Amino acid sequence: MIKKILLVGAFSFSSLFSQSITLEQKIGQMLMVGFFGTTASPNSQICKDIKRYNLGGVILFDYNPVNRKKAKNISSKSQLKKLTTQLQSCSKDGKLLIAIDQEGGKVQRLKSKYGFYGNFPKASSVSKMSTKNIKNAYLKMAGELKNVGINYNLAPVVDLAINRQNHVIYKLGRSFGKDPKAVAKYAKIFMHEMGRYNVLTSLKHFPGHGSSLGDTHRGFVDVTNLWQEKELSPYKLLKKDADSIMVAHVFNKKLDAKYPASLSFKTINKLLRADIGYKGVVITDDLQMGAISKRYNLQSTLGLAINAGNDILLIGNQLNPKRVVTTKKLVDTIYSWVSKDKRRVKSINNSYKRIQNLKRKL
């Protein structure tokens, strides 16, 4: 017993803790997955995955792409609260990231038909409201999320409204406007009000989706001739306030002539981290979107995403029922990729540390 105590004393608590987490479990922390189910009993696959792989997060949806008559994850307030409680009880640290897209306007998963308010304003309308009313609206939104156990809101959008032909941002009213300072101002209010209920947020979609014409859900989107450098301004202004930043799948030859932003070392590690100076968590947009899935296989996608500097890899299992990927396959694929070059372990460790720092805010 004395020898064991002395042995432990020779190490710092942090090194001892890191030794208790396997590489496989660190990889698990980097994954945020979507799943089918309105409950998560101990025998459910998602609960087993959270326990087995130390899964970092899940993303919830209301719409079920397999059966429209059935809810995917959300059917009522009481059901959702029970689901998130079950999910947290499966996690090792009680800090499973339970994420949702709740922007307001067209993008709000907590709808009135499920018993929620469901009428939060779109960003373009928010820009016309008084500061007091904006704060009240977003505080109410944060309260709804907190009350049903959701701790991570994949919002706000800080894309600029600079292309009137843009179908995914401008025409849906998802942007606060075309002035970077105004956009940063409203985004900061959004983040602050979410923070009052300890709901984490994510600025999106770096390095800018407001100038695009195409939809990355469907396929390849090249913004090379449309993108403007001022689209980076909100990220520069908010880099110290952001809990996390979501990276888009847009391709911009001016930033990287080979890879789309989400898979680009030049865009994330160089531009966002080194040049802009952002130190926090980076999360991908859904890696099953057409812009990625139609051009890269799973191993290439995951390897490039990690190498680029992403910390959380989002696999929504939402866009194509035929492309549902198990957590086991994701972990095994990344583990295999890492084992081919031991230097890649450093990327996993760096991401793990940033994710733990983010979770401390909870």
The pLDDT assigned to 182 comes to 98
Range of the domain at 301: 25-359
The pLDDT assigned to 88 comes to 98
The pLDDT assigned to 217 comes to 83
Whether 260 maps to a domain, the answer reads yes
pLDDT tens track, the chain, 362 positions: 333 323 233 323 333 344 589 999 999 999 999 999 999 999 999 999 999 999 999 999 999 999 999 999 999 999 999 999 999 999 999 999 999 999 999 999 999 999 999 999 999 999 999 999 999 999 999 999 999 999 999 999 999 999 999 999 999 999 999 999 999 999 999 999 999 999 999 999 999 999 998 777 877 889 999 999 999 999 999 999 999 999 999 999 999 999 999 999 999 999 999 999 999 999 999 999 999 999 999 999 999 999 999 999 999 999 887 789 999 999 999 999 999 999 999 999 999 999 999 999 99
Q: How many CB atoms lie within 10 A of CB 283?
A: 27
What single string gives the DSSP state of each residue in 161-223?
A: ---TT-TTTTTTT-SS-S-HHHHHHHHHHHHHHHHTTT-EE-EEEET--TT--S-TTTS--B-
Whether 5 maps to a domain, the answer reads no
If one counts the domains in the chain, the total is: 1
Whether 8 maps to a domain, the answer reads no
CA atoms within 13 Å, Cβ hemisphere of 334 = 27
* Non-local CB neighbours of 164 within 8 Å, separated by 6+ positions: 170, 171
pLDDT of 83-100, one tens digit each? 999 999 999 999 999 999
Whether 103 maps to a domain, the answer reads yes
Whether 2 maps to a domain, the answer reads no
CATH of the domain at 62: 3.20.20.300
- Strands 97-100 and 57-59 turn out to be parallel
* Non-local CB neighbours of 269 within 8 Å, separated by 6+ positions: 308, 309
Whether 6 maps to a domain, the answer reads no
**Contact between residue 85 and residue 124 where contact means Cβ atoms under 8 Å apart:** no
The pLDDT assigned to 213 comes to 87
What single string gives the DSSP state of each residue in 11-63?
A: S-HHHHHHHHS-HHHHHHHTEEEE---S---TTSHHHHHHHHHT--EEE--S-
The pLDDT assigned to 20 comes to 84
Whether 16 maps to a domain, the answer reads no
Whether 121 maps to a domain, the answer reads yes
